[in-house]
Amino acid sequence: MSKPDYSATRVLEVIPPQHLATMEAMPAAELRAMQDVMTSLGDVAQAFHCQPRFTKHTGPKGSVVPTEPGNILEDVINLLATYATAAAAISAAAEPVTANDANDKAWTLLQYHANNLADDLPAFVALAAEMARDWDDARDRDWIKEHTTGKAA
């Protein structure tokens, strides 16, 4: 696996090194689960953040700003998003061994980018095509291995 690119993120500033090392050692299925749960928890926290108890209206035009608990909740949302970003970056750098790995990598990246590239449909479609090609290549390798060695991948 090549080294994940964290340059455009806050991953190295936010995630403790031991968590990052653990995530970098995870198989594709575990990274997918990690990214899924961090995104889901972030969505739930974001829903709470929209409630009036976490925001207040200020100024003549009624601009909305977070309350003190809302500020803390924003930090939690950002932390969860950073873990999801790390899972996607690690997955992007991984070389899938089996078709199942390629499938998990594809879904990790597609789900992550669906949330973050929502306005760039051509980039998302290109990523989906690349992931489909990688999965197809891995599936072919699995078939060849199974039929030449008699062992499933």
Question: How do the domains of the chain map onto residue ranges?
Answer: 11-149
d(CA 136, CA 104) in angstroms, rounded, equals 13
pLDDT tens digits, one per residue of 12-70? 889 999 999 999 999 999 999 999 999 999 999 999 999 989 988 776 677 888 899 99
129: tokens are 């095509």
Report helix, strand and coil shares of the chain as percent, to nearest 5: 70, 5, 25
- Whole-prediction pTM: 0.83
